Amino acid sequence: MRLTPGPARDIDLDGVDLFDLDLYTSGDPHPIWDVMREKAPVHHQVLPDGREFWSVTRHEDVCRVLGEHREFTSERGTTPTHVGVDDPAAGKLLTSTDPPRHTEVRRPLGAPLTPRAVKSWEDSIRRTIVGFLEPALDGEKFDLAERALLLPAMITGPLLGIPERDWAELVQLTAMVTAPSDPHFMVGHEAATLAISHHELINYVTEWVERRRARGGEDDTLLTHLMGVRAGGEPLTDEEIALDGYSILLGANVTTPHTIAGTVHALAERPEQFEKAQADPSLIPNLVEEGLRWTSPACNFMRYAVDDVHLAGGTIPARAAVVAWIGSANRDPSQFTDPHTFDITRSNAKRHVAFGFGPHFCIGAPLARLTQRVFFEELLQRFGSIELAGEPEHLRSYFIAGMTHLPIVAQKRQTP
């Protein structure tokens, strides 16, 4: 998906297909979202098979859909793959559960992921990122997007308790879940890719838990912590552990590499922004937030209306699927001045909803922010310049906005 949109154009909203994969692989959805926010902020679409959904594109409406669980439930599914087909894991998988159950599981699960807790991992994260960046300093072409797919596993694998021999396989499986139609990850066809990846990931967590129990003893890894979570005074069932472990693996792997690649792409196209950040490292935390707003790697989330809900742009009927477009909300001019401008000095960049909003705000956000801050600290310290060495290739997915290839050439920074 293009992150810098092309010029405005006439758009027939009646003919728009927001599930058209070509729109995200080689197209440009931002001009469409611009028109939708202005003319049809509550937009209805019927798919060829008869399933239907409503879209919200304004920042205010996206926050309401994601934040008001009594109006918009997560317990029928939260991703567009479940439009019109209830999620069989609803009520068990944390991401497909509403409060109070969601809160009972989330609070103890999130204890090791607070900003204070993840701060202790900074040194190990920095060592991993320094090693990751080293090959790019030889001046040869370096495919950042392709290589970055493995970076989250390199960082979170030891924290989760996942051995290095399994990292590449798990990265491939999580990519298959989120982009089952992308030729880099598809196995046979989309449905088969989804079925295989779901099955293999659930099996992996189940077997990991069985081995951990057989081994006994204690450790401080995140998956071991998940096994000890108690919700409402009761331990999680084995099915809940497997499902939530699956969700943790997805969350750990699928968004950070695309945020990093998209932000580096923006800096390569805008050398003045690169130089500004390099001259003033205090801007790096805001660079991270602007990168999250700009890339919006989780392109959307879905909910179901509980009853008829009236919004400024129309009415969403009871039990209807509602897709909240994160990528549009983060370019809403009512919130962000000149939203299609990448500006690392933007004063309110942190108002983005790249991590979601409300009860389901991303539990791993502190770790993601820490990882990206350290990444850009090390990149700006080591790289004197970044240039594109070819055209980026975009992920074939309407759920995750990202890249499969981003060839760059970096020059080592000369120290005075």
Work out how many domains the chain is built from and give that number: 1
- pLDDT mean across residues, the chain: 94
348: CATH: 1.10.630.10
Question: Has residue 126 been placed in a domain?
Answer: yes
Mean pLDDT within 255-280: 97
What integer pLDDT is reported at residue 88 of this predicted model? 86
Question: Has residue 5 been placed in a domain?
Answer: no
Q: How far is 112 from 393, CA to CA, in rounded Å?
A: 36
The 10s digit of each residue's pLDDT in 46-73 is 999 999 999 999 999 999 999 999 999 9
**Alpha-carbon separation of residue 89 from 109, 169, 177, 356, 361 (angstroms):** 18, 23, 15, 20, 19
What integer pLDDT is reported at residue 63 of this predicted model? 98
- 181 has a pLDDT exceeding 80: yes
Q: How far is 236 from 231, CA to CA, in rounded Å?
A: 7
What percentage of the chain carries pLDDT values higher than 90? 86
The 10s digit of each residue's pLDDT in 204-221 is 999 999 999 888 867 889
What integer pLDDT is reported at residue 364 of this predicted model? 95
- 184 has a pLDDT exceeding 80: yes
- The candidate with the shortest Cα–Cα distance to 374, out of 117, 128, 144, 164, is 128
- 250 has a pLDDT exceeding 70: yes
The 10s digit of each residue's pLDDT in 146-162 is 999 999 999 999 999 99
Mean pLDDT within 344-362: 97
Question: Has residue 49 been placed in a domain?
Answer: yes
Q: When comparing pLDDT for 186 and 414, which is higher? A: 186
Question: Has residue 4 been placed in a domain?
Answer: no
Question: Has residue 7 been placed in a domain?
Answer: no
pLDDT band for position 249 (cuts 50, 70, 90): very high
Range of the domain at 184: 13-412
Q: When comparing pLDDT for 88 and 268, which is higher? A: 268
**Alpha-carbon separation of residue 416 from 10, 133, 409 (angstroms):** 52, 21, 22
What's the pTM? Answer: 0.96
What integer pLDDT is reported at residue 416 of this predicted model? 63
Backbone angles phi, psi at 55, to 5 degrees: -115, 140
The 10s digit of each residue's pLDDT in 115-132 is 999 999 999 999 999 999
What integer pLDDT is reported at residue 356 of this predicted model? 97
- 85 has a pLDDT exceeding 90: no
Question: Has residue 100 been placed in a domain?
Answer: yes
Question: Has residue 263 been placed in a domain?
Answer: yes
Residue 263, SS3?
helix
Is the CB of residue 384 less than 8 Å from the CB of residue 267? no
Is the CB of residue 371 less than 8 Å from the CB of residue 377? no
Question: Has residue 159 been placed in a domain?
Answer: yes
